[in-house]
Amino acid sequence: MGSNPINLAIRFLLELIALASIGLWGWELSTGIMKYILAIGLPVIAGTVWGTFAVPNDPSRSGKAPVAVHGAIRLVIELSFFYFATWALYDLGYTKLSWIVGVVVIIHYLISYDRIYWLLKQ
């Protein structure tokens, strides 16, 4: 179920790119000390939400769920996370990069159709 090592590696890279994109967006959004607060704070908040709200026994993750949520909610969290990161790149003027990230996210989820089905059944 979506646990192909290559697909999991792509997912991990997408997560890192998303966190970096969110941090860069926070950095560029403001000036002074707020640059640092947003550049660090926004990825920390996004990563905390990502790691906290999970479906129990999700084989694409550790299987642990600090806060158990329905699979559909988890899917919305994931898609929102990647959408925001893609939009942040676009907003910063990295149009081509935002398209590349967006397309890779879509391909990742198409390849992970079995995981999406599993999530929606939970």
The pLDDT assigned to 49 comes to: 96
The pLDDT assigned to 1 comes to: 53
Q: Domain-by-domain residue ranges, the chain?
A: 5-121
Burial class (CB in 10 A: 0-12, 13-18, 19+), 46: buried
Q: What does R_g of the chain's alpha carbons equal in angstroms?
A: 15
pLDDT per residue, tens digit, the chain (122 aa), is 556 888 889 999 999 999 999 999 999 999 999 999 999 999 999 999 999 999 988 877 777 788 999 999 999 999 999 999 999 999 999 999 999 999 999 999 999 999 899 999 98
Contacts for 69-72: CB closer than 8 Å, 24+ residues apart = 70/122, 71/118, 71/119, 71/120, 71/121, 71/122, 72/119, 72/120
